[in-house]
Amino acid sequence: MKKIMSGNEAIARGAFEAGVKVAAAYPGTPSTEILETIAKEYKEIYAEWSPNEKVALEVTYGASMAGARAMACMKHVGVNVAADPFMTLSYVGVNGGLVLVTCDDPELYSSQNEQDNRHYARFAKVPMFEPSESQEAKDFIKLGYEVSEKFDTPVMVRSVTRISHAKGIVELQDPMTPPVPIEIKKDTAKYTMLPSFARVRHAFIEERFLRLKEFAEQFPGNRMEINDPTVGIISAGISYQYAKEVFPNYSYLKLGMVWPLPKNLIGEFFKKVKKVYIIEELDPFLEENIRAMGFKPKGGKDLFPICGELNPFLVEKGILGKKFKPPKPFFKEPLPPRPPNLCPGCPHRGVFHVLRKLKVFTSGDIGCYTLGAYPPLNVINSNICMGSSIGGAHGMAKALGEKGRGKIVGVIGDSTFLHAGVHPLMDVGYNKSYATIIILDNRTTGMTGHQEHPATGYTIRGEKTHRIDFVGLGRALGIENPRKLNPWNLEETERVIKEELDKDEPSLIISEGPCVLLRRAFKKYNKPLQVDSTKCIGCKTCVNLGCPAISYQLVEGEMAMTADGKKRKGIAFIESSLCPGCHLCYQVCKFEAIKSQEEKPIFGFETA
Amino acid sequence: MDQMTTNILVAGVGGQGVILASDIMSEVFMEAGYDVKKSEVHGMAMRGGIVTSHFRFGKKVYSPLIKQGEVDILFAFEQLEGLRWFNYLRPTGKILMNDNKVNPPAVNLGEMEYPKDIPEVIRSKFKSFYLIKGTEIALQLGDARAANVVLLGAISKFFEVNDDLWLKTILNYLPPKVHELNRKAFSTGRDQISQS
Ligand SMILES: Cc1ncc(C[n+]2csc(CCOP(=O)(O)OP(=O)(O)O)c2C)c(N)n1
Ligand code: SF4
Ligand code: SF4
């Protein structure tokens, strides 16, 4: 049977057909839909959102020791978090097959960096497969399990945004029963990396690596397509498809396995064609390794950018050079950009409005709330990786001493806090920081599309489970008196934040406001608010909340004056179809020009 | 459209149903016997940001991305987004645009103006331009959310694929209680493109 599938759906299908028993992940674009698909479609597989990628990988390691086929999925930077177990997992190897799926994000559509995770395969001395479309994504996952078990190694499969979130036609097959029995089997010398045992395993992986190189030479997914012999292209993954699109008649060495590389096959290809180009996205990974083998390609990263993703246009331009003729533009004027924005009614907006007013330094973190760095809010001042807000704020406070007192805030989302914020908060308590830490608890993982986590009270399949209490956790970590606030009540939000900033002891504030898109958290939304156009003086105070429902509109003639005769250039307008009625704008307007349609104004919502 | 592969760029704003529309098109053309590929970006771009979906069908499709300058149909769900991707069109291409505006943040803040007279600007440079009142028609039929089905109805007119296949595929994505409304939305959409 044929089906249209995204790369992520095909990876999930591959796991199902390979008989995977345990799959674990932490959400992260562009990898998230792999586990979501497994949870929805393949009930045979145990699936979980783990608190972070390190835990996810460790769960699959345990499952593999017990003989099960297991899969861990994460975005590229997730592998950094999981790198500690991963480097030594390579030594330990597997019992049931283990595949780590890394989804890289060239062009940074939704990421903090653009790292190329092919380097991890080389670093950890494990094989890496790289599909170039959905069908291969499914095939390479299944193959990954065979290779994993045959060579006693974890296997990496690398996807990128244009594989994970692209769709193509996939041929479906039936699931198989994996060969390894599931049982408790003790093999201490293999699984316990004491120095004496690990030395033995290091020698093993060096020898395993030689066998993997031989495999790469025979592997049919590394294939030559000899057409026009004047130009040969070595490529892998999505770059291969771009090249085939623009140069269907050239010859190709298409690598399905990007580590280790098949030296003999590459040599043969160099003999068969006149000049060789290496086309790859991001780093010159293939190029450097192929040059190190002694081969001399005609071109590589001198012709194609390292930064950003490739596309058919850039590939054609790189190869044709001066002969390339770009299409003529029809239209050249600059257009207003359309950056992503916090939703109308978003619970983060109230806290950000107050932080802006208090002019503090806000050490930020990763999630929807990072968008608070954009105008008009302009409140997030830093952010590198998940969890870094708290350590960053604490370190600044220690460096600044008296100078920074009352001015340093760390903000972190609920999912991010549980992923990597618990240890730094422990540090704040333990080493007595004056930094004020705010958990923006919107009861979901917003940015990646609303996944459950250990403080939502639900599992990936919607079963009820234990829900972490942030106040209790904060106390256990050394914060004596964690506070809560309602972020849609600006008076309360400002008062609580000010009080905590003034304190000389570690502070933790939990801003409790569910993501407005999380339907189940709300009994009902409120009626949309309205601007009284006779009163609005056009001061833009509400406009500067950055709510997408509010716009500033210029007025002329009769309209350029309020009912009581004040001059104005424009007025605010609320698009009622977009407004869930959070009443933030109502609270900031000093001219009573914003009208609540409720019997009594409600600061926030009736939540369930 | 005599080349091997047909390229459709669907463009709009987060929440308008761009991705659903391209999902439906790819199923329709797979069922009609073509190879299909499509590609889009999820995640960060969705919070009211720009959403595009590249959709391609033909005998054999390699790249999931359309090369700049080779879009056969620019299928825009919003005016500014139509203009933004204008330069991706082939000179022989078509534009099918929903007559709808969504302000970007800089316009809401009063810092920039929403570009004026977009349909006129496009029409002055491009003959094959179809402006569809998708949102208005859907509202008249009773639900603004049916706008993308109106638009799908309009675009379906450009292909020789049987309209039953389109309808069946579209209705598959929708709960039965809105089937009647969407049938109407689809056929009204088709009527917007004249036979010529
Ligand atoms: C190591 C790592 N894993 C995953 C991600 C992807 N990611 C970015 S933000 C985020 C979580 C956002 O949830 P939360 O902290 O609750 O904030 P919200 O978006 O709900 O405001 C995730 C999973 C990442 N950037 N880095
Ligand atoms: S998805 Fe939720 S948390 Fe994210 S911006 Fe929208 S309301 Fe805020
Ligand atoms: S009440 Fe005001 S701030 Fe809140 S969503 Fe509506 S328009 Fe935006």
pLDDT, average across residues B88-93: 95
pLDDT per position as a tens digit, A512-532: 999 999 999 999 999 999 999
- In CATH, the number for domain A525-607 is 3.30.70.20
User: How many structural domains compose chain B?
Assistant: 1
For the segment A124-165, what is each residue's pLDDT rounded down to a tens digit?
999 999 999 999 999 999 999 999 999 999 999 999 999 999
Ligand nearest to C-alpha A579 = 3
Contact criterion met (CB below 8 Å) for A164 and A30: yes
User: Do the beta carbons of residue A304 and residue A310 sit within 8 Å?
Assistant: yes
pLDDT above 90: residue B44: no
The answer on pLDDT for B88 being more than 70 is yes
B47 lines ligand 2 (CB under 6 A): yes
- One-letter amino acid at A172 equals L
- Using the Cβ of A559 and the Cβ atoms of chain B, whether some distance falls under 8 Å is answered with no
Q: Give the minimum alpha-carbon distance from B196 to chain A in angstroms, rounded to a whole number.
A: 26
Backbone angles phi, psi at A4, to 5 degrees: -85, 125
Interface with chain B: mutation pick from A76, A244, A338, highest number of B CBs within 10 Å = A338
Q: Is residue B1 scored above 50 in pLDDT?
A: no
Count the Cβ atoms, other than its own, within 10 Å of residue A83: 16
A255 beta partners: A236
Residues of chain B neighbouring A580 (CB-CB closer than 8 A): none
pLDDT at residue B47, rounded to an integer:
77
What pLDDT is stored for residue B2 in this prediction? 45
In a domain, B167, yes or no: no
Question: By the CB < 8 Å criterion, does A28 face chain B?
Answer: no
Q: pLDDT tens-digit profile of A555-590?
A: 999 999 999 999 999 999 999 999 999 999 999 999
Lowest mean pLDDT among A214-223, A465-474, B100-109: B100-109
Let me know if the fold of A348-522 is the same as that of A525-607.
no
- Residue ID of nearest Cα to ligand 1 atom 21: A368
Q: Taking residues B75-82, what's their average pLDDT?
A: 97
> Who has greater pLDDT, B126 or A429?
A429
**Closest by Cβ to A29, choosing from B36, B42, B103:** B42
Burial of residue A466 (CB within 10 Å: 0-12, 13-18, 19+) is exposed
Dihedral sign computed on CA atoms, order B166, B172, B176, B178 = negative
Cβ contact (<8 Å) for B109 and A329?
Answer: no
A387 in helix, strand or coil? coil
For chain A, percent helix, then strand, then coil, each to nearest 5? 40, 20, 45
Find the closest chain B residue to A334 by CA distance. Answer: B84
pLDDT band with cut points at 50, 70 and 90 for residue B3: low
Q: Which segments of B59-169 are extended strands (E)?
A: 71-76, 89-98, 129-132
Interface touch A109/B125, C-beta < 8 Å: no
Task: Answer yes or no: is the ipTM higher than 0.90.
Answer: yes
Residue spans per domain, chain A: 2-218, 223-323, 348-522, 525-607
Inform me whether the pLDDT recorded for B152 exceeds 80.
yes
Which uninterrupted H or E stretch holds A225?
Answer: strand A223-225
Full residue range of the structural domain in which residue B91 is found: 6-140
Residue A285: left if φ>0, alpha if ψ -120 to 50, beta else—which one? Answer: alpha
- Whether ligand 3 lies within 6 angstroms of the CB of A585 is answered as yes
Sign of CA dihedral A100, A103, A104, A110: negative
Percent of chain A surpassing pLDDT 90: 99
Cβ pair B69, B89 in contact under 8 A: yes
pTM as predicted = 0.97
The domain defined by A2-218 carries CATH number 3.40.50.880:
no
Mean pLDDT of A29-40: 97
pLDDT at A608: 85
What pLDDT, on a 0 to 100 scale, did the predictor assign at position B4? 86
CA of A391 to the centre of ligand 1 (A): 17
Across the interface, which of A109, A242, A246 has its CB nearest the CB of B44?
A109
If you average pLDDT over residues A338-350, what whole number do you get?
95
What tokens appear for A503 in the block? Answer: 């304190």
Q: Dump the DSSP string for A186-211.
A: --HHHH---HHHHHHHHHHHHHHHHH
Best of B63, B67, B120 to substitute, by most chain A Cβ atoms within 10 angstroms, is: B63
Among the bound ligands, the one closest to the CA of A530: 3
Task: Indicate whether B164 belongs to any domain.
Answer: no
Task: Quote the pLDDT of residue B154.
Answer: 98
* C-alpha pair distances (Å), A306 with each of A107, A279, A366, A534, A592: 10, 11, 25, 56, 54
Whether the pLDDT of residue A38 is over 80: the answer is yes
Instruction: Note the CATH architecture for domain A348-522.
Output: 3-Layer(aba) Sandwich (3.40)
Q: Are A26 and A394 in contact (CB under 8 A)?
A: no
How far apart are alpha carbons B108 and A432 in whole angstroms? 44
Q: Is it the case that residue B138 has pLDDT exceeding 90?
A: yes
- The model's confidence at residue A13, banded by pLDDT at 50, 70 and 90, is very high
In a domain, B42, yes or no: yes
CATH topology of domain A223-323: Rossmann fold (3.40.50)
The backbone torsions φ and ψ at residue B137, rounded to the nearest 5 degrees and listed phi first, read -60, -45
Task: Note whether residue B172 is domain-resident.
Answer: no
Identify the CATH number of the domain in which residue B25 sits.
3.40.920.10
A281-311: per-residue pLDDT in tens? 999 999 999 999 999 999 999 999 999 999 9
Query: Could you tell me the two tokens for A320?
Result: 């044709």
Write out pLDDT tens, residues B157-179.
Answer: 999 999 999 999 999 999 999 99
Residue B143 structure tokens: 């639900």
Q: What is the pLDDT of residue B171?
A: 97
